[in-house]
Structure 1
Amino acid sequence: MYRAPFLYFAGDLQITKSTLVIQSSFASRNVVLTAEYLSTQSFSDGSTVTFECMTGHRPVNSGASKSVTCQGTQWTNLELRCTRKSCGSLQDFLNGRYEMTGNLFGDTAKPVCNKGYMLAGKETTRTCRDQGWDGRDPACESVKCSAPPAIEHGQLENVPLESYAYSDAVSYKCNPGLNLIGQSTLHCSEDGTFKPDPPKCFAECTQPSFASRNVILTAEYLSTQSFPDGSTVTFECMTGHRPVNSGASKSVTCQGTQWTNLELSCTRKSCGSLQDIVNGRYEMTGNLFGDTAKPVCNKGYMLAGKETTRTCRDQGWDGRDPVCEPVKCSPPPVIEHGYLEDEPLESYAYSDAVTYTCNPGLNLIGQSTLYCSEDGTFKPDPPTCFAECTQPSFASRNVILTAEYLSTQRFSDGSTVTFECMTGHRPVNSGASKSVTCQGTQWTNLELSCTRKSCGSLQDFLNGRYEMSGNLFGDTAKPVCNKGYMLAGKETTRTCRDGGWDGRDPVCEPVKCSPPLAIENGELVEVPLESYDYLDAVSYRCNPGLNLIGQSTLHCSEDGTFKPDPPKCFDGCPTPTVTNAKRIGGKSPPYKLGNFIQYKCEDGYEMKGEAYIVCRANGWDPEEPSCNGKTDENTKGSSFPTWAIVVICVVLGIVVAVVSLVYVNYRKKRSL
């Protein structure tokens, strides 16, 4: 038998040479040894011990074995597993509720009263124990506040009560002439006290300020922040200011909590205008205290020494007039691999120019000519001379620089770079040189020239073919199905890429048409099928007595639809109603397709529209006319008064009689 120095049940038991080790898995089972085994530290082979749930726990499986047996130096597995007991949820109590961490063994429930109520006695948190929730429901009683505190130099606006209910308010006021500092109104709060803290009453003035008058307190008052009633203080003008009225009072007095009005008001002093300086002038923001004057020299002159802006101070303008001397530039700088076209001078006057030249075969980068500028330096910056080439390009040869040279924009004399064919291109001559060299500022000629790769022609595919723009890189091939077939899925144009034609041959499947559309007042001659093959035909007929307009027979077309559009069944045209008119041609109702009517307006009416209309598939063509009464304006130009007609008829009768008489006499003379 092995004796262990101690026994700790935190999991499965395991005996070693020096101690009894308990595997961690038992700890999670929430179990303890029953009382009869707790004092035993070692067990002989074959011993059996029993476990039970820890306080506040219950078995997960009531039928699970509670014992383990010592086999050699190991205990058998324990089936028993326990979980925390539930105490159930606590119901809200009168005027309160519980804030619970949970309802299992060890969880807690803190009582909280509703607004306006507070716990009677000490707050006690309840705990879920082995037998259920400990303690009992607390009592929440209405919040009551004692009378609010009295304040010095002030009182409550109303007579205080012995106690106040939750949220009741009280207001304070100060004795006449005193300032109330803080909140005047307090409320009875949840903890049975008035909040916020009561205010205070003061009879004093704070430090006065009249900033808009440009004044400050005299020195003896500056450090004092509050003044008792009756105090008098004096003001003076701020630095750089003067009184607007020299006789104005400079003092104010504290009366209760307010200062009397201040008469003194000040304005900025004037320094006067500065005269122009020799070969220069001032750029001034103004001439009053605080304004500035910046000296500016005339063109061709510059300030001798450091530029100093002058300021209008309390006693006038500070500083003195500067000196503007003629601009002089030192000789311009020497540049590498270049020189001045003329011999340099010891100094140069304003706007004098110098010009640079590069050594033969080099590039001048920048401005070749510089000028002596207003600040005594040559501008712009001097140029630089380079023996280099810019990045080469031979786009017409369908080539690009190899990757290692693409990010470089300039190359020194003697540099060599290599080209390669653009994507989708191949060399025209595989033995041509791919490199060029920078010689001075020029690149040597490039032999390499590339042409588009060929992808070859695409063969016709089952029930279709390709319409190709070509077979070289970038060309496209559009799949087209034979008549009676259509592409399965989305049409995808194939493109000749660097590695050949992309994509794959599409599938052309036989054209199928869905059943044709039903028509109003008509039907198909035969029972419709679920689908139709290419060129299959269907025929329509109209209900008895109706006319069929359009094609009666439709065919399943290449795009999977029946064509042409289905016909319509026509039941004739409605009888027209043309007032103030009569029918002078055509048949009487009803009117079928092709029937016509001709109208004539009654006397005194004129027609608007066409007199002859025909019944078409879409109704009367043209639209029905209308007969409108003639207006005075319509008759003025075309009708005569009755008397005029009578006169004309009489005249015409006389003319006819005269002509007849002359003719008769002429015939008689001829017969003689």
Structure 2
Amino acid sequence: MRVPVKLLGFVFWLFFFNCGQCRDCLREDIKYENTEPAAKASYSDGETVRLYCMTGFTGMYRLKCEEGTWDTIVERKCAKKKCSHPGDAPNGDFKLTAGSEFVFGATVLYTCKKGFEMTSRINQRTCRAQGWDNTVPVCEAVKCPAIRTNAFVTASGNTEEGSYGDVIHFECVSADKKIDGSSDIHCTETGDWSNSVPTCKEITCTAPVISNGFVVEPEEEYQRDAILKYRCSPGFKAREGIPRCVKYGWTLNPECDEIMCELKSIKFGVQQINPEGKTIFRAGESVEITCTERYRIIGTKQIIRSFKCQENGEWDHQPVCEEIRCVVPRDQHVYDPHSYFWGDMTLGTKKSYYCYDEGQYKRGVATCTRDGWNPKPLCAVSRCEVPRDQHVYSPHSYFSGDMKLGTKKYYYCLDGYQYKEATCTRDGWTPKPLCAGKMCAAPNIPNAEIVGHQRPEYSINSRIQYKCHRGFEPELPVEITCNSQTEWTGIRQCTEATCPLKTTDEDLIIERFPDIKGPIKHGHSLIFSCNREGLILKGEKEITCQSNGEWSSPFPTCEAENTDEVMCVANLTVNMRSDVTDEGHPVPEFSVRPGRTITLTCLGKKVKLQGERKITCQSFGEWSSPFPKCEDKTTDEATS
């Protein structure tokens, strides 16, 4: 019995010894994030367990209990589920409230763009386990209330239900009135119109503040077509054109520009300018110009001269250097001078010529210098001729017969009829000149040039012609005369060629120069269009002012596409006139289109107008008021 008992005890000891080596694995020892807890609190050795990720996460773990510790068999870490793009809201934007990925738990917040408002109750979406919750919000354009105008104002645009950005344009029904307020308003992002609905008022203008000038006889308010008179301060001049009160204000801004002289010809023949680099000068300021060696001040023999800017914006003398040239020699006994002196006659040029004296021809060579041709004289004569262009009174009466060398002649001068004595020498008659006659300096006419060669001086009664530059008027050459007071008579200034605005068609719009009411300068163009629907342009859309003061094409007209368009007919009586003319002549019978306003007057002191002076043709072919009449005042006086 003792042996079995011992054996049984050994078996129990061995069992308890082995169990001491086999410990359980506990649930609390599992440390993975975002996983559901294991089903049991502990697991025995060799037992396996599957762990699942929490809702919103993807992944899985499989663990095995090995002698009291967990061994990972499969590991797919738990990561947040991803959502697709949340969707764009038309006219809206969105942004993530946190992070940068569309994953479980992420929230996007939607906002509407400027001028749009959200009509959805919820403005956000969140990424859930099943995807995005809610729906994409809706943004609709902000609406503005309906527009209502009175009978004198028309509105174009979406007047019933304006959306953000919509523009409403207003115009007056009558051409004699203008918008009082803003002619264009727009629907703002807040659902309000940018300005209130305007009304119409009579066309008036107020006197502007003019820098360096002032309004003459200013008025508090100027009526339609009134002219603004203004003057400029000393040293300033008014701009071209006359300001007139029209629908959109003054036709041109009354401004005073400082009087300036511009130094233009500074490239050719100019050696030095003092002050250097300055080309614009105020009235009273001066500039000194020095010409290069082969040039001189135009119309003079000077190579250096000062020029002063005058109050009229012109220089006192033309500040230009011209190349030195010699002219065909006259009264120097040269044989047929035009045959030998032609072509290049600039400084330093040499010309061969012949002298004719006592039946003999003598050859010589002349050189062009600053003082003219050398030698002086070109021909040494053995007898003298009748003097010309020397202010001698009746030269043929005193200079006749023997006129050999040494001969003396007595004569009278035109200037004061002085009695003098002349002697024939090899240089011609002495003294030189025979008469100290008066001479006219070469004329200085801006924007013009002398026909033929210009001389520094001209004798009394000399006649010359000048021609205006291209683009200036008059176009034909002008002849002027040097009178006994050494003044040029007959001068006409060269003015820039202009073309007149000669249209009375009120439906015709000048697009390029909408404010011009006077002549247009040479080279400028006008572009036309018609001011309302139903009219088409007949003629050239663009015309240009030419150098002769004529337009390149006749002014176009606006004519109805439908020849059956409604018109208003006017039949004037003999003693009545209107502002409707044909080439400046009054028209007794005519028709005008709807929208046209005419002005009527009566002729004669004993006649007065009964009715409205201005009437407008309406869309249904009737005048805005009964057609007026011209009645005799004496009839009214007798009745009263």
- Give the TM-score of the pair, scaled to structure 1: 0.28
Greater C-alpha Rg: 1
Q: Looking at both structures, which has the greater relative contact order when contacts are Cα pairs under 8 Å and sequence separation is at least 6?
A: 2
- Give the TM-score of the pair, scaled to structure 2: 0.29
